Structure 1
Amino acid sequence: MNSGIKTFFTPQAWVQGAWAKDVLLTVAANGSWHSVQPGATAQQQAGAVQLPGPVLPGLVNAHSHAFQRAMAGLTERRSAGAHASDDFWSWRDRMYSAANRITPEQLEAIAGQLYAELLAGGYTEVCDFHYLHNDVSGAAYADPAEMSLALVRAAQRTGIGLTLLPTLYMRSGFKAAGLREDQRRFSSTPGSVMRVVEQVRRQTQGDARIHVGVAVHSLRAAEPAALKELTAAAKQAGLPVHIHIAEQTQEVEDCIAHTGQRPIEWLLNNAEVDARWNLVHATHATAAELQGVQGKGAAIVICPATEANLGDGVFDLPAYAAAGGKWSIGSDSHVTRSWPEELRLLEYSQRLTLRQRNIAARVLGHESSAAGLFEAALAGGLPATGQMQAGLAPGQRADFVTLDLEFPALLGVPAGHLLDALVFSSPGAAFGEVFVAGQRIAAPSPEGAQAFARAMRELWAG
């Protein structure tokens, strides 16, 4: 056998959209799959590492704001005052109070805890949509990539794959000339974003788990000329592009008032949207807009737990599936850190809206809702990262997790229904081992948890 190849064996693995038996998995020296062979004989299995349970590909978490992990559970009390309302915009003000406190050291500790939790939740890559560029006073750090590199260090320490997305953020709204005082940390330009990209690339050269892309916070946060400049630079460099869009009805109304078009409509008509683009949320999109996204080859990132937590609304999965659209999953504000929970909530939101069952199975063309959801989210990892991360197949990065069949949610479940039980039997099953680029991920260190606890005490003391 070729030097540097690792060989694993599992009695059951998810291959090309279905469970396969007796699968021999070989990993090339560069951390990608060399071969995936179902039906391996006993002789072929000899010498392979025996994996402790059924194998699933790792999923890409396509939308993360790592610092918001520090807020999980701390925004669930009603606003004070007889006429106070609780919605996305009031939550955003609370989020800003956290954003304007966090130091690079605290961010690294918070991201380290988050990334360890995402690995435990079955994710093997995270796309961090990162806009905390400046210090707490709003002044630029001596190293413009200071906060970005805190995320890189956290990813390298935990072993998760990271696609860092430094984010363009220039104004507070469509009619604003600049940022609000409480947005001063977010200030950036197309040039500053690309400088962060270049520096992170230099400092992580040779690390196959660290990649970069770019993000535009939203249409309201960037002038059209700046959006065009940044996305042209990203296209030249072959980078994925992410953008928040059509998350809130007020955002849609403001865009219509300012431009005469809906947000996705404007983007499709005025930007060079293509297969590298990832539209985050798209909660309030028309069927025509969803068809337009698919027509451009772009993808949508759905974040069911955060969209529910913030009261955003329900994504129109049937309309997008009818258009043949690509999508991925993200945990965004990290009120949950497990992909089975995200997929379960996506399906349940459809059931509550339509008052039917097994919506994903029907609209995605699968017998199983869990299989339809998982396969779609798996395929969506390619546009989200710009990397080969879409399952157990030669050439894809060798990311995978094993299932613990002793966990109560899976105990005694027939082999063909394991994915269904993983997604729809709650509380969710525990994953066993996690591998990224063919490397087994070690258990989190106690020091990481202690650093996270210390950062939380410092942030929220008093």
Structure 2
Amino acid sequence: MARLWFRSALLPDGWAEGVALAIADGRIAAVARGVPAAAGDERAEIGLPGLTNLHSHAFQRGMAGLAETRGPGPDSFWTWREVMYRFVDRMDPDDAEAIAAQAYVEMLEAGFTRVGEFHYLHHDPAGAPYADRAEMAARIAAAAQSTGIGLTLLPVFYAHGGFGPGRGAPPAPPSPGQRRFLSDRDGFAALMRDSRRAVAELPDAVVGIAPHSLRAATLDDIAAILPLAEGGPVHIHAAEQVREVEECLAATGARPVELLLDRAGVDRRWCLIHATHMTAAERRRFAASGAVAGLCPITEANLGDGVFPLAAFAGEGGLVGIGSDSNVLISAAAELRLLEYAQRLTGQARAVAATPAHPSTGRALIEACLAGGGQALGAPGGLAVGHSADIIALDPDHPALAARSRDAWLDGWIFAAREGGVEQVWRAGRRVVADGRHVAREAVAARFRATLARLAA
């Protein structure tokens, strides 16, 4: 049994000094407070629970920065999507694994210890299933295993190209750019079976399902595939764009979040990604459902999506978590900072996420996203007995943390650290980041660079 000792650590009931965590089989077996370090302990100064990245498309890390050039007309999410389709056109399984590994190294260095991989790149470049239907899922699992990140795999059901042109019209057919994502219901059932096998060697992997969106999966599709989750998480993109809401209204007579709440049985298993554009009534019902809002502030800003109504939603008891989505920039602190700053800009107020229980904005953000992210990925977080030993240590010598303590460390890391701040990371009790660098950073980065060079050739 290994032991980690922290001078200060954030436990579920608050900060404590002299904290020793006993680790067995990758989980926290015991927590002691007010104890001195012992011979043989791994030691650090400031211990925090690892953070959860509840929404990632790992392959998009390879196209980060490639969609920042304006086209001949107005740019939007929809023009960005065309760049994405072109990028995936040549990617093979080796490429997908190399890019995912780079993304996962960066996540761990940033303090994310588990990722929800919203995985929809299933087929070969012609759109045909691989001999092993879960070939691409197996590559995601391999990237997770080689880097050490915890994985919640969310295979995506994607059958249609968009909403029909009017009320009662059939869904639009898929476009050529979507051919690598597509499944029918029977094919998706086979994909789910093989995806479970693909992650079987990861000791704490979780598998759920992800109907991509109401654009790509009808309510009948969702009802048919829901049993394939087998009680695991259910994630879906919803109300990310105004155009999506307008098209959903025209095709169904209801808004996306409204439709899901009315007809899909949304409950605590569910995570609605983005949910940016809701009415007040939708927002209140969503909060009451127990489902999680999966917020991706950097990507939402990059794509011009809009701003989620965090203050009202949280005030109504809504649960939230953060994700890196398009992986254009991977930073846990930056996601939390932008989540708060967007609220300040739109509401002309400060410390919006703070609460009477947690007047520190940083502490309030971390506590909220630990709870929501853990629920959304089927893997509760926190430094508690029985939980995975997913732990980060902040750098006490970082200038943004100087002359601070406890909650002020969190505020310094999120709002004042230009970069860095995470000194060490343990995942399932194994140290994967030391002195701010992942133990396999150089090898993973070299493979990533070679992959992008080949794709660009």
TMscore range, shorter length: over 0.9
**Which of 323, 333, 340 lines up with 2:316 in the alignment?**
323
CA deviation string 1:108-145 (max 9, x = no partner): 11001110000000000111111111111111111110
SS in 2 for 1:433: strand
State the match for 1:368 in structure 2. 360
TM-score with structure 2 setting the length = 0.94
Amino acid at match of 1:34: A
CA displacement at 1:416 relative to structure 2: 4.3
Alignment of 1:165-204 (within 5 A): 165-175=154-164, 176-204=171-199
Distance change (3 Å), C-alpha of 1:213 and 1:287: same
Alignment of 1:248-287 (within 5 A): 248-287=241-280
Count of residue correspondences: 446
Structure-2 separation of matches of 1:335 and 1:282: 20
CA displacement at 1:311 relative to structure 2: 0.3
State the match for 1:433 in structure 2. 424
State the match for 1:59 in structure 2. 51
State the match for 2:435 in structure 1. none
CA deviation string 1:334-374 (max 9, x = no partner): 12211110000000000000111111114x75211111110
**Which of 63, 66, 70 lines up with 1:71 in the alignment?**
63
Structure-2 separation of matches of 1:182 and 1:224: 23
Tell whether the 8 Å contact from 1:409 to 1:425 is kept in structure 2 after alignment: yes
CA displacement at 1:445 relative to structure 2: 4.5
TM-score with structure 1 setting the length = 0.93
State the match for 2:117 in structure 1. 128
Deviates more, 1:452-461 or 1:200-209: 200-209
Unaligned 5+ runs, structure 2: 165-170, 433-437
Tell whether the 8 Å contact from 2:163 to 2:248 is kept in structure 1 after alignment: yes
Amino acid at match of 1:351: R
CA displacement at 1:426 relative to structure 2: 3.3
Unaligned 5+ runs, structure 1: none
Structure-1 separation of matches of 2:406 and 2:311: 29
Alignment of 1:2-401 (within 5 A): 5-16=1-12, 18-29=14-25, 31-40=26-35, 42=36, 45-47=37-39, 49-79=41-71, 81=72, 84-175=73-164, 176-234=171-229, 237-362=230-355, 365-387=357-379, 389-401=380-392
Amino acid at match of 2:425: V
**Which of 400, 404, 407 lines up with 1:409 in the alignment?**
400
Deviates more, 1:292-301 or 1:373-382: 292-301
Structure-2 separation of matches of 1:11 and 1:342: 27
Structure-1 separation of matches of 2:302 and 2:84: 13
Deviates more, 1:435-444 or 1:205-214: 205-214
Between the aligned residues of both structures, percent identity stands at 46
Deviates more, 1:251-260 or 1:423-432: 423-432
Tell whether the 8 Å contact from 1:130 to 1:166 is kept in structure 2 after alignment: yes
CA displacement at 1:444 relative to structure 2: 1.6
Amino acid at match of 1:24: A
Alignment of 1:434-453 (within 5 A): 434-441=425-432, 443-453=439-449
CA displacement at 1:188 relative to structure 2: 1.0
CA displacement at 1:17 relative to structure 2: 5.5
Tell whether the 8 Å contact from 1:409 to 1:428 is kept in structure 2 after alignment: no
The question of 1:418 aligning with 2:412 is answered no
Structure-1 separation of matches of 2:192 and 2:385: 29
Tell whether the 8 Å contact from 2:141 to 2:202 is kept in structure 1 after alignment: no
CA displacement at 1:277 relative to structure 2: 0.5
Tell whether the 8 Å contact from 1:298 to 1:326 is kept in structure 2 after alignment: yes
Tell whether the 8 Å contact from 1:23 to 1:39 is kept in structure 2 after alignment: yes
CA deviation string 1:43-94 (max 9, x = no partner): xx43451423211100110000011101111111111x3xx01111111111
Distance change (3 Å), C-alpha of 1:425 and 1:17: farther
RMSD: 1.6
The question of 1:459 aligning with 2:455 is answered yes
Deviates more, 1:165-174 or 1:443-452: 443-452
Structure-2 separation of matches of 1:365 and 1:195: 47
Structure-2 separation of matches of 1:196 and 1:397: 28
Distance change (3 Å), C-alpha of 1:380 and 1:416: closer
Distance change (3 Å), C-alpha of 1:355 and 1:299: same
Distance change (3 Å), C-alpha of 1:187 and 1:309: same
